[in-house]
Amino acid sequence: MTVHFEDLTLDWLGYATLRIETDDTVIYFDPGRYGVLTGEWEPHVEGINHPPAQDYDAEDGDVVCVSHIHHYDPDGIRRVAGEDATVVLFEGINVHETDRDVDRPVGLDHEVVEVSMEDELVAADCPIWTVPAYNEPDGPNVEADGTPIHPEGIGCGFLVEIGGQRVFWPGDSDVLDGHEELDVDVFVPSIAKNYTMDRHSAAELAESMGPDLVLPIHYNTFESLEGDDEAFTVDVASRHVPVVLDH
């Protein structure tokens, strides 16, 4: 399923991978991991709502945004980035902080721009703003010792303006102070039960922000990311906010 909104075409390709297209520009958020772009992903529960795995190698992206080390996948970036793409990486990505064997950002064959938690730039004529993304120490997404799973400083979210619309991917984050004040046309939250805002807090944030469309992503890729998207859509729609699913 492909979602059309105003002049945008949006495709959730699995996990946190979102493709956004206008007539002349393509932007990706957090491409790859867990086999969603290599055709190897398999559902942990039969019939669960999630985009099917595919061997995806479009290499058509003008901009590729990567929020933090958990979503840093050089193979995924290479599968989506066009020859002249700009790869926008959070500056805190350190390959030594993962047990995966991945290339350092300097090894990518594209222009790489590193950004902080609160930054702004223009890539492919698209304004991009970053916002902090983390789990609150007193929130639900903490380790047994109370350490946040995503501590402050681990990554960022992205607000991009493309085709005259502002699309907001908050990254792996709880709902934070200031989110509701953002000027957002399309909100693409995680609704997973762990690690990020869940479907309840995402619905509340959607109501506060008042976007023209909500499209949930980053759920059901594996068991600990399960999320009830149908309940989420009912909740958001009851708040008089337009919502749609893409799978």
- pLDDT band per the 50, 70, 90 thresholds, residue 1: confident
pLDDT in tens, 97-139: 899 999 999 889 999 999 999 999 999 999 999 999 999 999 9
Identify the pLDDT of residue 247: 80
Identify the pLDDT of residue 199: 98
Q: What is the pTM of this model?
A: 0.97
Closest CA to 235 of 213, 212, 197, 206: 206
Strand, helix or coil at 1? coil
User: Does domain 3-238 bear CATH number 3.40.50.12660?
Assistant: no
Cβ proximity of 86 and 113 under 8 Å: yes
Q: For the chain, state the CA radius of gyration.
A: 16
> What six digits make up the tokens of 20?
């956004």
Q: How far apart are CA 146 and CA 17, in angstroms?
A: 29
Where would I find the H helices in the chain?
A: 74-80, 199-209, 229-238
- pLDDT band per the 50, 70, 90 thresholds, residue 189: very high
Q: How far apart are the first and last CA of the chain?
A: 6
Domain spans, the chain: 3-238
4-11 average pLDDT score? 97
DSSP string covering 121-173, please? EEETTEEEEEEEE---TTSS-B-TTS-BSS-TTSEEEEEEEETTEEEEE--S-
